[in-house]
Amino acid sequence: MPQLLRAEVGRLHQAMRTTLDPVARRKLAGRAMELAQEAEAIADLPSDAEGLNGAIAHYKHMLANADNPSKQQVLVHVLQRAESKLQQLSSQQRTSRPHRLAAVA
């Protein structure tokens, strides 16, 4: 996922170089910044359940205090990715545990 976001950032930077309109350039730059922040936040997500739970709590707190829509959008996407990663991790842990049979007396 971060790779796709980084590729889109590169495409936006290329579009900025070829655009003469300063308003359009500013919009492209703003979107590129949002996507770059999102990509880095997703890439930095922990890979363990405890770390992911902490990150989710942190991003929820940030979202509750976010003051602008673009920041909220980035935080929502990062939260979704963190929750998805936690869900995948939980599924993997459930399937990797050996099943124990109850002893019959």
In three state form, how does the secondary structure of 35-50 look? HHHHHHHHHCCCCCHH
Q: Which of 4-13, 29-38, 64-73, 86-95 has the lowest mean pLDDT?
A: 86-95
Q: Name the phi and psi angles at 100, rounded to 5.
A: -105, 135
d(CA 9, CA 38): 11
Indicate whether 66 and 90 sit together in one domain: yes
Indicate whether 35 and 56 sit together in one domain: no
d(CA 97, CA 93): 6
Residue 73's pLDDT is 93
pLDDT digits (tens, 9 = 90+) for 42-91: 999 999 999 999 999 999 999 999 999 989 999 999 999 999 999 999 88
d(CA 33, CA 81): 18
Tell me: pLDDT of 100 over 80. no
Show the domain range for 34. Answer: 1-44
Q: Which two tokens stand for residue 24?
A: 């359009």
- The domain total for the chain is 2
Q: Name the phi and psi angles at 66, rounded to 5.
A: -65, 135
Q: Which two tokens stand for residue 68?
A: 């602008």
Indicate whether 56 and 40 sit together in one domain: no
Final residue in a domain of this structure, among 28, 44, 60: 44
Indicate whether 92 and 54 sit together in one domain: yes
Indicate whether 8 and 37 sit together in one domain: yes
